[in-house]
Structure 1
C-alpha cells in the first residue's frame, strides 16, 4: 500500500471542467441547487449528530424488521385478475365450494401398489390426523379412496346395527340379529367379523371405529360393498400405482394452509405405518406450489446476496482503489435495508406483501444505493482535485451529485408508484418494495456519506493505492473513454443508425415469443412440483388444471341444496351442450359427477354431488379440455365454451368461466393493459420532471426511448437464452417487470451523464466540449455503477426459481448494455448529433436568455 499525495490547491480554472468552472453551488444552479446547498451546509456542519441519529434509528428498526417474514403472505401471488369472469368464478367457488377452491391441497402417494395393507393403514392414519384438525376448524374436509370405502362400510354397518335394535337392544339381541343376517347372506364374507364386532358396539362411535378397521383390512381391488367406480377412478389410478388425498382448508382463515405441517405429517404417518421405504408421498396444489416457490426463493436469497455483495465489493475496490470506502459504502446500504424492512413491517399490516417484495427491494436498494454513494464520493474526489478543502468538497459533492441522485431516485419512485395501479395482484407488492426502499437508501446515501466525508476527509479513502489521484482521467479507463468520446464525435450519425438497426432482431425475438404463466413450468424443482407432475402424468394436465363454470342457479333450479326435477333437466341439457363444444374432452356436473351420466338411484348419493351443487344454490361444472391448459388451442376452446354458455341463455343461471386457461387469458390481457398504462404514466411523469429540471424537451424523450431500447434488447436476449437455447418457458410478466425496474434504475446513468453535460455548459463549454468531457468525467462512475447494478440484480439468475432466473438474466443484460454501450456511446452520439436542440425549451427561450453558449 502506498500513501496517496494530498491534492494540491489550484488557481485559475478548475481542471477538466471542474467545479470552479461551474460557479458556486448556491448561485446560478437553480432552485434545486440552492435547496441542496442549504441542506448540505447544515448537514456537513453536524456530521456526528447525523450519524448518531441514524444509529439510533437503525437500533430501533432492527428488532422490528426481524418480524417482517411472519407478515408476508403467499396468496398475494394469485394471477386471478379482480373484476374478470375468472375472479367471479374464483370468489363463488371459495364461498360455495370451499373444498374445491385454491385452498385445496393434495397429498400424492406413489408406490408399486397402493393397495397393500401398509398403505391402506397409512391412508387411514393420515385421515385420522386430518380429522383432528377438522374438529378444530383448521381443515374443511378430506376425500380419498379410503374415505370412499370407509363411508360405504360405515353406512352398511350402521344400518345393520340399527336393524339389530341399536342402542335399544342388548348385545345378545344384536348378536342374534346379526347372525341371522349373516346366515341369510346379507353380510359379505369379508365383513362377517366386523359385523359381529358391530353387534357388541354400544353406540354409533364404536360402529365408526369398527368400520375404519374393516376398511383397512379389506382388499380394495375386490371390495365387498358397492362403491361408485367413477369416484374411485379420480382417487386411485387405473394401474394402482398412484393415490390422492384431497385436503380442503376453510376460506377466510387468518393464515395460509399449513403446507409444511401437512407434508411433515404425511411423511411421519407413512413411516409409522412401516411404508416409508415402499412409497413416496408429496403435497401439491396451487398454494403448495406458491409456498414452495417462495421458500426456495427465500433460501436462494442467502446465496444471491453473498454473490452480489462479493461482486459489488470487488467493483468498489477497483473503483475506489481503497478498502475503507468500499466497506463504508456497503455498510451504508446494508444498514438502510434494516430501516426499510421495519417500514415494510408497518406497511404489511395494511397491504398484501410477499417474499418477492423483500427480495426485489433488497436487490434494488443494493444496486441503487451503491450507485448513489459511488457518484457522491467520486464527486468529492474531483472537488478535492480541483483544490477545495475537505469540508467544502463534501459540501459541493452533496450539491452537485445530490441533484443527480435526487432525479434518479424520483424516477425510480415514479416507476414503482405506477405499479400500484395495476389490477394484477403480484405487481403492487413489488411496487411497495421500491417505494419504501429507494427513498430510504437515497436518504442514507445523501446524509450518511457526506457526513462520513466531512468527518473523515481524505481518510474516507484510506487503505488504498493512490485513491485520491485523478482516476477519471488517468489510466486505461480514462484513455478508453477519451477514445470512445472521440469516436462518437466522428461517427455520430453512423452510431445512431447501427443502434436502431441492431434493435430490430431483438424486437422480432421478443414479439415472436409465446410466454406463459404456467405455475408448474415456472416453479423450481420442489416437492409440490414433483407431486403435480405425477398427478399430470397419471390423469393428464387438463384434468389436474381444468376449466370451471360456476354461477348462482336460476330460480327453481335448486332447492335446499338439491336439484329440482326442472333443474336436473336444465343442468343435463347444458352439460350435453358443453360436452359437444369442440375441444372439450369431458364434463362433470350435478347430473354426471364423474364425466358419465348417473341414474336417479346414483344421484341420491348426495355425498358425491356437493362438489357440483351447493347448499346456497350455486352450480359448478368441471370441464376437461382436450389440449394442454396453457396452449393456444385451449384458449380457443374456452372462447367457444363462452359462446356455448351465451347461446344456452340463463335457464340454469348466470355462469362464469374460470380455471387455469381462463385465468391465463385474462391475466395476459391485464398484463398488456398494465404494461402500456405503466409505460405511459412513468413516461409522462419522468418527462415532466426532467423537462422542468433540465430545461429540455428532447433529453427526456431520448432517455425514455433508450430505456425502451435496452428493454427490447434484454427481453430478446432472455427469450434467446431460455426459450431457443434452453428450451424453457418464458414468463409472461418479464417485459413489464423489466420495464418497471429499468424505467427507474436505468435512468440513473443518463441522469448522471446529462446533468454533468448541463453543468459544464453552464460553466461556458460548448455542446461538443461538454459532451466529450462529461463522457470522461462520468464514464468511470457509469461503468462501475452498471457493473454494481448488474451484479446485484443479475445474481437473481442464480436462483433455482425460473422466474427469478429470467428476471436476473433480463435485468443483468439490460443494465450492462445500458451502462457500457448505450450511455457511453449511443447517448453521446445523439447529444452531438442534435447539438443545441438538446436544450430547446420554449418557456426558457421565451422568457430569458440561455445560461451559457450552446452548440
Structure 2
C-alpha cells in the first residue's frame, strides 16, 4: 500500500548505467534528472582528479596577471543616483554641457582659519589660483573661482578701462593721465600705483597680473572698487573664519579627476604662505564625497577581509574538528576569487565597476563557498561512515550535495542577475560581483573539492580530533537539533502563529522608518565630509545641495549669449513666481543674480563670468533655487513638486526647462528604487519559483520558501532600523531593503534548499513525511547552523567599515542570515513542513500523470 505521506513524490527511476555501485539502503543515486547529470559529471572528474587540479592550476596562472589589474578598471566615483530619462537626468546632462563649471564635476576647497581677511590668506588664495591655472592650461580644469579671483577680476576690469581711456589720450598713456584721473576722483587713490603700471602694460595678461598683485595685498573689507557684497558673501563666511574656492574639472580629467592631488597641493600651499598650524583646508563637493567614500571603503576592505577569514577559519575548525579541511576550504575559495577577479577585470573594460563590486563579490563568495564546501565535505563524511569507499563517497556526496548547491547557486545568480535590469545606476555594479563570483566558486566546489577528497581520502580530515565520527547526530549539537525537531513536531501550529505574529511589529517598524540618500549623512568621517559640514554650517544646506532649473530657452529669449529685452522680462517673471512658491527661500537667475532684481541696464552689462552661471552661449538658461527646508526632507520634496508646476507653465515664454538638483534626484531615485525593488522581487521570485517547481516537483515548497525569505528580511530590516535609527540616531540608507531582499532571495535559499532536498530524498527512500522532516533537521542542522555562522560572520564584518552604508548592509545581511539559518530553518520551516504534510509535494500535472500510470507493486 502506498504511504500517503509520499503521495506526489516522483518515483525513483532505474539506476543509471554508468552509476557507481549501490551502497547501503537509502543511498540510491540518480533519483532525478539533475542528480543523473551530476552522477555522470562526478564520475568523470573523480576518475581524473590530477588532471582537474592541473587544469585549475593553468587557469589560475593565466588569470593572476589580470586579477592584479582589477583596481585599474574600478571607478572611484561609482555610479550616479540620477535615474536615466528623468527630469533630473536631463537637467544634469544639460548642466554638464552648457554650464560645465557648475556641474557635478565641481569641487569646493574650504579654507578655515581664525581670520580670513589677512595678507597670508590672500596670498594663499592667490597661490592656489596660480596652481589651478596650471591644471587649467593642461586642459584638466574648466575654471576656478574664489574671493581672490572675484577681487582680481573686478580690479582687472577697472584697470583695463583705465588703460583703454589712457590709450585714447593725445600722446598716449602716461603718468600724468593717471594723476589727473586720481585728482578728479575717477581712479581711487589706493589704485594709483596699479593704474600707472596698467597703462604701461604691454597686453591684457600683464594687466591681469597687476590686478592679481593688487588684490592679494588689498584690504577686502575696504576694497576701493565696488564689489557686490552678495558675491563676496558667497565666498567668504560672514563670521570671517572660512573662505571657499571652486574648481570644475573638464572631461579630459577622466571619470576620476585627481581630487587627492588637488587636496595635497592645497595643503602644501599652507606651508608656503606660513599658514601651517593656523589654518586647515578641505576639498569637498559631491565628486570629492564619493571619491573619499570609495577610498575609505577600499582601505576598510583589508580589515573586513582579515576578520572574515578569521571568523570563517574558527567556524570551519569547530565544524570539521580538523585543520586540513579548514585550510583546504579557504584555499579553494581563494583560488576561485583569483579567477573571479580576472573575469571582473575583463568585464570592467565594458561596464562600470566600483570598489563595492569587489566588496560584495568577496563576501558573497566567502559565505557561499564555505556553505558549498561544508555541505559537500559533511556529505562525504556521512558516506564514508556508511561504508562507501573514498571515490564512491566523493561521487555520492557530489550528487546529493551538488544538487542543493546547484539550485542554491542558480537562485543567487537569478537574484544578482535581476539587479542588472535596474534603472538605478549603482545597483548593476553590485550585481556583476555576485553574478560572476557565485558560478566560479560553485565550479571550484564541484570540481576541486571532490578531486581533493579522492586524492587525499580520509587524510582530507587530517590534524583533528575524531573528525570522521558522526558529528551530525552525536554530541550536544545533535541532541539540541533532535529536541528542536521534536518541539516543532509537537507545537507546529503555535510556532507558525508566533512567527507570523512577531513579524507584524517588525513590518510596522519598517513601514514607519524614513530612509535617505543624503550623501553626507551616509558618508564616513572624511576630509570631504568635514568640508561639506563646514559649508553647510556657514552658508546653509542650500548652498551645497541646491535645486536647479535648467533648459533650452524659447525663441527670442536669448540673443548672442545674453538675454533680450523680452527675455529679461520673461526670466524675471519666472524668477518671481519661483521665489513666491511655498517652501522656497530664494532664487538666483540672470535677472536676479543674487536673489534680487537688477535693473535692465545692469543685467545687460553683467560681468561675463557671472552671466555664464545663468545664461550659456548656446542659449540655455539656469536658475538656482534655495529651499527653506533640509534638501532631503518631505517638505523639500513637496516644494520641488510645486516648482515643477510653475516651470511647466512657463514653457511658452521662457523655454523647455527641467527641475534637477539634490532634492529632485532623491525624489526620482526613491521612486525608481521602489519600482525597481518590486520588479526585481517579482522577477527573482518567479525565477526561483519556476526553478524549484521543476527541481522539487512541488508548488507549496517554493511558495513557502520565498515567503520565509521575506519574513527573515522583514525581521532583519526592522532590527537594523531599531539599531541604527532608534538607538544610534543614524540615517537609514534608502536602498537597504532592496539590497537585503535581492541578496537574501539568493543567499537565503541555500539553507532551505539544503533542508528540503534532504527531506525529499528521505521520503523517496521510504520514510514518512514526519520521519523525513525530523531526520532531515538533524542531518542538515549542523551544516546549516555552521554555514549560517560563516555567512553571517563574513557578511557581518561589513559593520567594521567606516561607511554607514556598509555598516547597515552588514548588520541587515548578518541578522537576516543568522535568523534564517537558526530560528527559521530549525523551527518555522520544519513546523510548516509538518503542518502541510503530503501537500508539500503536491503538483497538479504530476498528480495527473500519476493517475494515468498503474500502481506499482
Write out aligned runs for 1:441-520 (5 A).
441-520=441-520
Partner of 2:573: 573
Contact 2:153 2:208 in 1 (8 A): no
Write out aligned runs for 1:641-720 (5 A).
641-720=643-722
Shift of 1:38: 0.7
Is 1:22 the counterpart of 2:59 in the alignment? no
SS in 2 for 1:248: strand
Q: How far apart in 1 are the matches of 2:423 and 2:752?
A: 31
Write out aligned runs for 1:340-489 (5 A).
340-489=340-489
Segments of 5+ residues of structure 1 without an aligned counterpart are: 1-17
Shift of 1:137: 0.9
Partner of 1:786: 788
Contact 1:167 1:203 in 2 (8 A): no
Partner of 1:635: 637
Shift of 1:602: 2.8
Write out aligned runs for 1:191-340 (5 A).
191-251=191-251, 253-340=253-340
Q: How far apart in 2 are the matches of 1:480 and 1:275?
A: 67
Partner of 1:68: 70
Q: How far apart in 2 are the matches of 1:543 and 1:44?
A: 66
Q: How far apart in 2 are the matches of 1:852 and 1:623?
A: 78
Partner of 1:549: 549
Q: How far apart in 2 are the matches of 1:850 and 1:99?
A: 75
TM-score with structure 2 setting the length? 0.95
Aligned length: 832
Q: How far apart in 2 are the matches of 1:456 and 1:663?
A: 58
Contact 1:125 1:269 in 2 (8 A): yes
2:128 to 126, 129, 139: 126
Report the more deviating stretch, 224-233 or 187-196.
187-196
SS in 2 for 1:140: strand
Contact 1:133 1:139 in 2 (8 A): yes
TM-score with structure 1 setting the length? 0.95
Write out aligned runs for 1:664-813 (5 A).
664-813=666-815
Q: How far apart in 2 are the matches of 1:514 and 1:276?
A: 43
SS in 1 for 2:551: strand
* Superposition RMSD in Å: 1.8
Shift of 1:164: 3.0
> Aligned pair in 2 of structure 1 residues 23, 376: CA closer, same or farther (>3 Å)?
closer
Contact 2:77 2:294 in 1 (8 A): no
Shift of 1:582: 0.9
Partner of 1:11: none
Q: How far apart in 2 are the matches of 1:199 and 1:585?
A: 45
Shift of 1:515: 0.6
Contact 1:297 1:801 in 2 (8 A): yes
Shift of 1:782: 0.1
Contact 1:844 1:850 in 2 (8 A): no
SS in 1 for 2:352: coil
Contact 1:166 1:203 in 2 (8 A): no
Is 1:153 the counterpart of 2:155 in the alignment? yes
Shift of 1:205: 2.6
Contact 1:380 1:397 in 2 (8 A): yes
SS in 1 for 2:205: helix
Query: Over residues 220-275 of structure 1, what are the superposed CA-to-partner deviations in whole Å (9 max), with x where a residue is unaligned?
Result: 11111111222111111112211110111124753322110111111011221111
Partner of 2:596: 596
SS in 1 for 2:410: helix
Q: How far apart in 1 are the matches of 2:795 and 2:174?
A: 75
Shift of 1:166: 9.2
Shift of 1:153: 1.2
Q: How far apart in 2 are the matches of 1:476 and 1:852?
A: 47
Shift of 1:850: 12
Q: How far apart in 2 are the matches of 1:419 and 1:19?
A: 44
Shift of 1:195: 2.4
Query: Over residues 555-593 of structure 1, what are the superposed CA-to-partner deviations in whole Å (9 max), with x where a residue is unaligned?
Result: 111112111110100000111111111111000011011
Partner of 1:15: none
Q: How far apart in 1 are the matches of 2:584 and 2:527?
A: 31
SS in 2 for 1:470: coil
Contact 1:95 1:251 in 2 (8 A): no
Contact 1:404 1:755 in 2 (8 A): yes
Query: Over residues 165-196 of structure 1, what are the superposed CA-to-partner deviations in whole Å (9 max), with x where a residue is unaligned?
Result: 399988xx533433333343333222222223
Query: Over residues 92-147 of structure 1, what are the superposed CA-to-partner deviations in whole Å (9 max), with x where a residue is unaligned?
Result: 11111111111000001111111110110010011111111111110000111111
Write out aligned runs for 1:129-140 (5 A).
129-140=131-142
Q: How far apart in 1 are the matches of 2:388 and 2:61?
A: 35
Is 1:834 the counterpart of 2:833 in the alignment? no
> Aligned pair in 2 of structure 1 residues 702, 166: CA closer, same or farther (>3 Å)?
farther
SS in 2 for 1:656: strand
Q: How far apart in 1 are the matches of 2:177 and 2:610?
A: 32
Contact 1:763 1:852 in 2 (8 A): no
Segments of 5+ residues of structure 2 without an aligned counterpart are: 1-21
Q: How far apart in 1 are the matches of 2:581 and 2:183?
A: 53
Q: How far apart in 2 are the matches of 1:116 and 1:716?
A: 53
Partner of 1:8: none
> Aligned pair in 2 of structure 1 residues 167, 817: CA closer, same or farther (>3 Å)?
farther
Contact 1:161 1:174 in 2 (8 A): no
Report the more deviating stretch, 623-632 or 606-615.
606-615
Q: How far apart in 2 are the matches of 1:852 and 1:389?
A: 38
Query: Over residues 674-725 of structure 1, what are the superposed CA-to-partner deviations in whole Å (9 max), with x where a residue is unaligned?
Result: 1110110000000000000000000000000000000000000000001111
